[in-house]
Structure 1
Amino acid sequence: MKVITAIQRSPRLRTSLALAAMAAFFGLSLQAQTVFTVKQTFTVKDLPEGAKKVKGWFWMPEDRPEQKVVDFKVVEAPQSLMITRDPQFGRSWLHAEVDTSGSPLKIVTEFKIVRHAVSGMADASKAGLITEEHRRTFATDLNPNEKHMEITPRIRKIADDLAAGEKNPVTLARRYFQYVIDKSDHYSKFGPMAKGKCLGSADECLAGSGDCCSDQHALFIALCRSQGIPCRMFFGSRLKPENEGKNHDPGYRCWPNFFAPNIGWIPLDISSADAAPAGKAGEWFGGLDANRLEWAEGRDFELEPRAAVRPDLVIRGWVEVDGKQHKGFDRVLHFTKQAAIASTPASDTTTTASR
């Protein structure tokens, strides 16, 4: 298996690595840790007649502030398998390509990963004001024209009205968090399947037709960015207790992080809050549970090697057949979990650095 890494990284990525190193140095305030043993299988299927070349890019785990990979192995894969790294976000991907004359494109990995929950991060009394230096440093996270998260006049007015002159980024983010909950409904409140297109669209969320986590969080990100608050999107999967020991596709769950000086990058999950029992929604503002894996970050991906079609969202993976997107692939995940020894808290709140 080949390994390709990006030696020359963007300033944004170098900054992120430095932030991650700082988080490791000061120590995370960990709650009880959980060890997940995971097997994940990707299989490409339903190839069109006459197809010749299949290429695939698939999610793989790596160390993040809330998770650590303690063992990773490839059980089955084509000889062409590479671990590549996208140059924009610095994330690792499994990549392989095969001719259709041989075996189907199938990648099986097994790994152990330690996860911990985070909570209590969104303390407005500890937040500083965002400066122009912060905005220059995190300019990419303030992009006003990112696809489906554009800062439209309508979104700016909503954000301005909710802000009412407030400048504290945590206070503002909490208002936008609550606004999205009040304005939209995550599909899980009503059934097992989304009714919307799941484009990750702020406009669809406002219109009431966007009922996916990506729609809700796209609106939150656009609202934050309109007020100069850097905000990022992450993609992962929830490891629900009821699915332990089962072969299944857990789908995806996205969540954003926003930046507040003196605190760092603060996670939240509006979709979990929206579906939470009465009185529990606030726990998801500045907190995440341990029963999830983080896979990827961002949108509008510059995959490596470069894909023929540049994808806006990569959910589970991205497959191309003869240079065209191919949606026919299965992903099966199996996991078991066990509790690990809890760490001694380093402080009253958890600190996270993303990327």
Structure 2
Amino acid sequence: MKNPTRPTIHRRRLLQQGAAAGLLAPLLGALPARAQDAPRRFAPQRADWRSFEVSTTVTVADPQGTSRVWIPAPSVETDYQRSVDSSWSGNATQAAMVSDPARGVRMLYAEFAPSVSAPTITLVSQVRTRNRAVDWSHSEPVREDPATLRAALAPAELIPLDGIVRKTATEATRGAHTDLEKVQALYRWVVANAHREPKVRGCGTGDIKAMLETGDLSGKCADLNALFVGLCRAVGVPARDIYGVRLAPSAFGYRELGANPANLKGAQHCRAEVFLKAHGWVAMDPADVLKVMRQETPDWIKDPAHPLIAPVMQGLFGAWEGNWLAYNTGHDVTLPHAAAKGTLPFLMYPNGENSSGRFDELAPDAFRYTISARELKA
């Protein structure tokens, strides 16, 4: 039985072959000659706070009638992120910080009268972020608001918890008894069975029922981490997606785990976290494991025990790097004052509409929005 204070992530095939719990240890020590320049470890530790200024500018490309724009704003206040200030400028007829009434997702809302010929709005947010890592050697019961836990166990429109979702989660966690064991099993299951698909638009939609029913477990972060979150919820482990954007290159040398701060279009990234009774909220990111496997090198690496992948597989079970900003944790988000009806699966991109209809938030050049960041001196 694994030591519950030091969880180790292994590939299912290796477990079936009776590999020891310490199998990954020698893999972390040295890399083969053909990968000498690859990162040797990915182990974010608590570090000093970093300060960033993030700017999002939206220009309505084809103003028709009244134009409306919504820009996600940081609404996560935790021990790994602090919001400092947000301000906006532009020629909006009216602008204000608003929230989805059911989820509390914060955003800047801007409205432009038909007389405004070139609608433009810029949101500037200052945040402080830092690495996040659980101390597996320390455990004690953690209290959390029951309402928060209920929300992290509830189904969403694209994340049902019955039917094939519950069946899959139950099968994947067979033999697991504690919440930690269940999360370990599901993390391994997602990495072993799903894969990153670069051709998916944006970050995906997170329709996990369709993924499981079709057997097509490909996608991007909003699909892959939603799958993990839904499976966790289906077996009674509170879990949630956290929607945000990468801000800077990774300090660990992995190209796919960082971003170019001068141009963050396409840098949006969804992470995940689970609530463990003995550790509280714990960072998780199986989607980034799959991203490194698929895109870090020209060759698709399909073995999680590969020397390039093993450190990320291990590190992202319980840790994040603080080069990322969290916007919110909301599913089924309503845009206040929107003419178009219905909800969004999540709010991670600028959105907009006018009399011609809803803009395509996944086409930043056609929608005409830019996102950039700069790190501020302490």
Q: Which residue of structure 2 aligns with residue 300 of structure 1?
A: 332
Match of 1:214 among 210, 222, 227: 222
Q: Is the 8 A contact 1:128 1:168 kept in 2?
A: no
- Count of matched residue pairs: 301
Q: Is the 8 A contact 2:134 2:279 kept in 1?
A: no
In structure 1, give the amino acid aligned to 2:209. D
In 2, the alpha carbon distance for the partners of 1:125 and 1:153 equals 37
Q: Which residue of structure 1 aligns with residue 125 of structure 2?
A: 111
Q: Which residue of structure 2 aligns with residue 36 of structure 1?
A: 52
**1:99 matches 2:113:** yes
Match of 1:57 among 67, 70, 85: 70
User: How far 1:257 sits from its partner (Å)?
Assistant: 1.9
| Correspondences of 1:1-355 after superposition (within 5 Å) | 30-47=46-63, 51-62=64-75, 64-65=77-78, 66-120=80-134, 123=136, 126=139, 138-144=149-155, 146-187=156-197, 193-194=199-200, 198-206=204-212, 207-208=215-216, 210-241=218-249, 243-244=259-260, 246-276=262-292, 277-280=308-311, 281-305=313-337, 308-313=340-345, 314-322=347-355, 324-327=357-360, 329-337=367-375, 340=378
Q: Is the 8 A contact 2:332 2:343 kept in 1?
A: yes
Q: Which residue of structure 1 aligns with residue 300 of structure 2?
A: none
Q: 1:295 to 1:136 in 2, by over 3 A?
A: closer
User: What percent identity do the matched residue pairs reach?
Assistant: 22
Q: 1:136 to 1:118 in 2, by over 3 A?
A: closer
Q: 1:214 to 1:244 in 2, by over 3 A?
A: closer
Q: Aligned to 2:177, what secondary structure does the other structure show?
A: coil
Bigger drift between 161-170 and 217-226 goes to 161-170
Q: Structure 2 length as normaliser, TM-score?
A: 0.70
In 2, the alpha carbon distance for the partners of 1:247 and 1:194 equals 20
In 2, the alpha carbon distance for the partners of 1:37 and 1:197 equals 23
In 1, the alpha carbon distance for the partners of 2:82 and 2:226 equals 27
Q: Structure 1 length as normaliser, TM-score?
A: 0.74
Q: 1:53 to 1:288 in 2, by over 3 A?
A: same
In 2, the alpha carbon distance for the partners of 1:52 and 1:137 equals 40
Query: RMSD of aligned C-alpha atoms?
Result: 3.0
Deviations 1:116-170 (A, max 9, x none): 010135x49837699xx987763232224x2221124332222222222433212
User: How far 1:60 sits from its partner (Å)?
Assistant: 1.8
In structure 1, give the amino acid aligned to 2:101. P
Q: Aligned to 1:113, what secondary structure does the other structure show?
A: strand
Structure 1 gaps of 5+ residues are 1-28, 341-355
Q: 1:94 to 1:155 in 2, by over 3 A?
A: same
